[in-house]
């Protein structure tokens, strides 16, 4: 029996405001060290919302999680 293949998620582009926030907080290396699926999930989570205040809220959570190093989208993560 062949394995079931799921379609790959679309790769998300990093908006300039996310790139700038990562650089300002000194978290680009921690972001780059995360698995590709996590990086893409964070960007999808930020990019998919319409309201700027919600985008900023998601961005702030991502930055805090990267800084702490022990969470991924509100879940415990040991990286």
Contacts of 70 (CB under 8 A, 6+ apart): 76, 77, 78
Q: Is residue 47 a part of any domain in this protein?
A: yes
Is 49 within a domain? yes
pTM of the model: 0.85
Domain span at 37: 16-68
Residue 1 has a pLDDT of 64
pLDDT in tens, 13-58: 999 999 999 999 999 999 999 999 999 999 999 999 999 999 999 9
Which residue, among 23, 43, 39, has the nearest Cα to 31 in the 3D structure?
39
Q: Is residue 24 one of the residues assigned to a domain?
A: yes
In which band, very low, low, confident or very high, does the pLDDT at 79 lie, cut at 50, 70 and 90? Answer: confident
Q: Is residue 48 part of a domain?
A: yes
pLDDT tier, 2 (very low <50, low <70, confident <90, very high otherwise): low
The count of structural domains within the chain is 1
For 54, other C-beta atoms within 10 Å of its C-beta total 13
């Amino acid at each position: 029996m062949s394995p079931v293949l799921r379609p790959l998620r679309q790769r998300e582009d990093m908006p300039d405001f996310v790139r700038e926030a990562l650089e300002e907080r000194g978290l680009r290396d921690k972001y780059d060290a995360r698995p590709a699926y996590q990086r893409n999930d964070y960007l999808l989570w930020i990019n998919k919302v319409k309201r700027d205040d919600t985008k900023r809220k998601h961005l702030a959570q991502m930055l805090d999680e990267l800084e702490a190093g022990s969470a991924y989208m509100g879940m415990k993560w040991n990286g």
